[in-house]
Structure 1
């Protein structure tokens, strides 16, 4: 049963948020990394949901206490209805420009031709992109920025204020613990999957070497 639903876009500290929520809740948190580990089942399931063909949320997310990052965050409205007691966390970067630079240096480079780009995964990503960004051309920065702003406005308009936590990258334990009614852990807040770490892990080195396109922020993935 989900206790936390992430509404934040990829590259808004979602890997960091995953680790933090797993620490707080003592249970797994769904993330795109979970899809990669169960690609044959998860990609078709989320693709069907994106196409409006219905979704078995308990089947896809059973055993998880939280879900952040794509694909789940694209369905935050549906998940909020399915799990009415769950808190909704809107993770954000400090600006569109920061988010855009990070995405172009990392996930956008593998969305079409990456290691996991099976036909169903590629179709799932395309459908989720269109659902989130209203069909904006990924190469059209201005169109994506406008859709990005509208997306955040939709989240704020559709999630009840008493359920919504806006979480800026680097905010630490307090916003999450306050929303969940949990004590702040003694351990430091995690910071994972920066642009530099993403390049080191994937081997996708940008021109100029590792770190050449780093956005300099912590916990960006």
Structure 2
């Protein structure tokens, strides 16, 4: 199954809401970092192959119609080329608030320290985190990086293939771009602080053990799904 929609926005740009939206529109399942977690023993080795320069995109996205979030968005250019019929959705937000949100969740010292020495951390260092080098604690640099990242996508992907989208716009622009009917339900909204990073506060981060990670993520994504259209 070839991907039909590629979400190019990095984590903390409403990528969880976008996952649920695409699935609600019949373009699911939608791959997201939580899918890496939910089947960690299968998926982390596949992403480590990507890190080692041996990507098998068909294996990674087997059974999925769409993708959003890290680590896949790091490879937006490669995926757009590999799936030439796909459409690209760039979810966006204010650069400074993006940095703040990342610092509270996926880039927080608590989160990263909980994974130190694990295979998951090696995967993150080779995909998502490698983009920032030693600048992850520099808010001004990170905001500039985010603006440049978005602009590069806008400058690279043909306009007819790209939607630059803020979820506050609701269903209409997304549905028009994808050529699907507008649902009666409200656009899914997942509380930005209540995503996977925030939910890990009680245990001080994410489980480094793959089995524990799978159990944690499996229950959490279903809880969020139940809330998304509330």
**Could you say which TM-score interval applies, normalised by the shorter chain?**
0.7 to 0.9
| Residues 17 and 190, structure 2, Cα contact 8 Å, conserved in 1 | yes
Q: CA deviation at 1:71?
A: 0.8
Report what 1:45 is aligned to: 46
**Corresponding position of 1:140:** 138
What SS does the corresponding residue of 1:174 show, helix, strand or coil? Answer: helix
**Alignment RMSD:** 2.3
Kept after mapping to 1: 8 A contact 2:33/2:69: yes
Alignment of 1:3-18 (within 5 A): 3-18=4-19
Q: Which residue of 2 aligns with 1:69?
A: 69
Q: Per the alignment, do residues 132 and 7 of structure 1 end up closer, same or farther by CA in structure 2, a change over 3 Å counting?
A: farther
The SS at the match of 1:88 is strand
1: CA distance between counterparts of 2:54 and 2:180? Answer: 34
Distance 1:200 1:161, change over 3 A: closer
Q: Show CA shifts across 1:144-185 (max 9, x none).
A: 222222211211122111111111132211121111111101
The 3-state SS of whatever aligns with 1:90 is strand
SS of 2:112 mapped into structure 1: coil
Structure 2 Cα separation of the partners of residues 56 and 147 of structure 1: 28
Which ranges of 4 or more aligned residues in structure 1 deviate by more than 6 Å?
none
Q: Which residue of 1 aligns with 2:78?
A: 78
Given the two structures, how large is their TM-score scaled by the length of structure 1? Answer: 0.83
| Structure 1 counterpart of 2:217 | none
TM-score using structure 2 length: 0.80
**What is the DSSP-based 3-state SS (H/G/I as helix, E as strand, rest coil) of the residue aligned with 1:27?**
coil
Deviates more, 1:121-130 or 1:63-72: 121-130
Residue 107 of structure 1 aligns to a residue whose secondary structure is coil
Q: Gapped runs of 5+ residues in structure 2?
A: 205-227
Corresponding residue number in structure 1 for 2:185: 187
2:166 aligned with 1:168, yes or no? yes
Tell me the equivalent position of 2:21: 20
8 Å CA contact 1:4, 1:89 repeated in 2:
yes
Written as runs of structure 1 = structure 2, the 5 A alignment for 1:23-34 is 23-34=24-35
1:124 matches 2:123: yes
The count of corresponding residues between Structure 1 and Structure 2 is: 203
* Structure 1 residues 149-160: aligned runs within 5 Å: 149-160=147-158
Q: Could you say which structure has the higher helix fraction? A: 2
What is the DSSP-based 3-state SS (H/G/I as helix, E as strand, rest coil) of the residue aligned with 1:33? helix
Q: Secondary structure at the match of 2:188?
A: coil
